[in-house]
Amino acid sequence: MVYTKTIPMNKNIDYKKELNPAQLEAVESINGPYLVIAGAGSGKTRVLVHRVAHLVEKGVKPDEILLLTFTRRAAEEMLRRASLLLDERCKHVSGGTFHSFANMILRKYAKLLGMNNNFTILDRADAEDAVNLVRMQLGFHKSEKRFPRKHAILEVISKSVNKSEDIQDVLYDEYPQFIEFIDQIKKIRDEYRKYKLQKSLLDYDDLLVFLKNLLSKHEDVRLALAAKYKYIMVDEYQDTDKLQAHIVCLLAADHANIMVVGDDAQSIYSFRGANFKNIMDFPKIFKGTKIITLEENYRSTQPILNLTNAVIAQAKEKFEKNLYTKKKEGNLPVFIDCPDENSQSTFVADKILEFREEGVPLNEMAVLFRSGWHSNDLEIELASRNIPFVKYGGQKFVEAAHIKDLLSYLRIAYNISDQVSWLRALLLIPGIGPKTASRIIEAVIAKPKDNTLLQKNDGLVKLLELLKSVDSQHDLPAKTIEKFLTYYQPLLKIKYDDFNKRLNDLDSLLRIADRYKSTEQFLVDMALEPPERSLVEAGKRDKDDTALTLSTIHSAKGLEWHTVFIIYLAEGHLPSYLSLEDEEGVEEERRLFYVASTRAKENLFLLKPHIDRSPRSFMDGGGSVFTQVSRFLGQGNLLQEFVDVQSAGVSDELNDLELEDIIGEKRSRNKAFFESMEEYFRDDQ
């Protein structure tokens, strides 16, 4: 919308009073390129809101300002606040996501790219269905070997686009199990492109690709847009991918009136295609860039900031900053070395109840973790204490399909007349559909000892033999589950592309079952005392003050709580095992720990289990392993200088040895453990 009417300013904004010196410098900077490094909790949004108001106040037409954010809600909220700060003119600023901006521009210039301007945008589900249609038309679904499904194929294609990498590179880096299908996946990508072009369809990635192509190949259009948007601001620049950064550079290449705001220390989304180098290289691309650093923190106490500053100071590549706050006093972060996973869960639950008694609401406390499965044991503990919670960044594991699958076998073993469990178990067997399953169930219920009908399918025969071999009335539930897991694992690999990720959940189920002596009690607890169903839909936040927050660190970015617990701070967990393959991966894990730590306002608890149960992938080797504290805490004298080190039941002898090992940085890892362990793929976001 073009702004034509002059509205007299009726507010006198005292910027010096409302902003600290660094914020004021950023707000009053107008012409030229600026990089604002906004430390955690330093008022980044406040700066963007006030700068929009300041530009309009200084005579810049609202429609000449472009504000790019990662969510529509963020842009709308910033412009709403700017309007309240100044006046209604701020609502006419062009604000939105990269994708919404691309859609607006492409509707106007579509014909230059050989497409209709009435194109349809495919959402994620539609795009997956289109990929699947192409996959089936090419006959790849009939492959003798397990061919990747539509979700995985679209992920590969999308990451290839966002990272500006060849499909082969994406497969080698993230999907090595599909390397043998490189040619077929490339063929699907090519046919998928043709399909979309023929049908006037664009997926999310296409919006950015087509916009970049428009700006690159049509100089007149690029110059027209540069003339229209004389002042460009980009939020969360550390989260941009190569394609988005390229678009920003093309738009601002002539006037260079661009301000990007972000924090290199919070760049944690490489799995989505975000490129850490975008923010680091910005001053190289835009010569003469003025770097403004926001270091005053309005969230945490100084003891918490002292730890986070020390952690990020170890980063290999960074913009220098040292966060400080006026809240000088406070509790030291506490490191707890728990005997095992269950003790870790018990400690967290105890502390949560203790803080609630002291008046801290549940919604002002959070438990953060690297991967969704890390909270499995804790969820059971919280449920047994009647502590309500909401979980973000991962499905509650007792509701996950693979957990339900495995439990269905146990329920059948315990009660052969359980029709619901029979149906679930039978539909997992290749060659058995709903009709056949119904006939089998009827036969089982009518004549449980007559197996004539049941002998017609090899997969079914194996299941029956297994059921005969277990004694659910007397065997320990963990022993029975372990037998079923051996049977289920091949089916798991057939059914799910991300079977390695799901094996971690099944490991957790096995460890939880190990705490029970009776199959009956285990099944009763799974039915009556599992974690409550999530109080909110995935991706939505609820301000319910009766619920504790459980969240992956990726999903916690931008949020804050009075008290934060970070669990599984051990080598192989944070940093994750897979990140140890390269330095960049380890550095992103460091930033992940930094993000988690800076969520805490008053209290920060850092926990790890002293003993870690061996993963399913090498359970035949037996035993458990002693964990090593995360290198992000073990480097230098961090634990001595910035952390209150405590023990939760670990013997003094073991704890002294552990601390000696931490401080001396002796990292004698259990090689077999780290070579065998499988880590969740980073979509726990």
Q: Pick out the residues of the known binding site for ATP.
A: 38-45
Whose structure tokens read 């009827």? 442
Distance CA 674, CA 391 (A): 28
Distance CA 9, CA 21 (A): 25
Give the number of C-alpha atoms closer than 13 A to the C-alpha of residue 20, restricted to the C-beta side. Answer: 16
Complete DSSP assignment for 334-381: EEEEESSHHHHHHHHHHHHHHHHHTT--GGGEEEEESSGGGGHHHHHH
Closest CA relative to residue 386, chosen from 338, 412, 419, 349: 349
Distance CA 511, CA 343 (A): 13
Q: Which residues of 50-81 are buried (b: 16+ CB within 10 A; e: fewer)?
A: bbbbbbbbeebbbbbbbbbbbeeebbeebbeb
Which residue ranges make up the annotated binding site?
A: 38-45
Under a CB-based contact definition with an 8 Å cutoff, are residues 497 and 673 in contact?
no
The count of other CB atoms within 10 Å of the CB of residue 513 is: 22
Burial class (CB in 10 A: 0-12, 13-18, 19+), 409: buried
C-alpha of 192 from chain center: 28
377-380 own/partner pairs: CB under 8 Å, 24+ apart? 377/341, 377/342, 377/344, 377/345, 377/508, 377/511, 377/512, 378/344, 378/345, 378/348, 378/349, 378/550, 378/567, 379/530, 379/531, 379/550, 380/345, 380/512, 380/525, 380/529, 380/530, 380/531
Residue 22 carries which side chain, given as an amino acid letter?
Answer: A
Q: Which residues pair with 260 in a beta bridge?
A: 35, 234
The count of other CB atoms within 10 Å of the CB of residue 511 is: 18
Give the number of C-alpha atoms closer than 13 A to the C-alpha of residue 665, restricted to the C-beta side. Answer: 8
Under a CB-based contact definition with an 8 Å cutoff, are residues 276 and 267 in contact?
yes
Under a CB-based contact definition with an 8 Å cutoff, are residues 550 and 557 in contact?
no
- Give the single-character DSSP code of 97: E
Helices 124-137 and 150-162 cross at an angle (nearest 10°) of 110
Those residues with Cβ within 8 angstroms of residue 464's Cβ, 6 or more apart along the chain or in another chain: 451, 454
Residue 652 carries which side chain, given as an amino acid letter?
Answer: D
Q: Which residues pair with 604 in a beta bridge?
A: 564
**Span between the terminal Cα atoms of the chain, in Å:** 35
Element (H, E) at 73: helix 72-85
Complete DSSP assignment for 382-419: HHHTT--EEEESS--GGGSHHHHHHHHHHHHHH-TT-H
Closest CA relative to residue 47, chosen from 232, 233, 299: 233
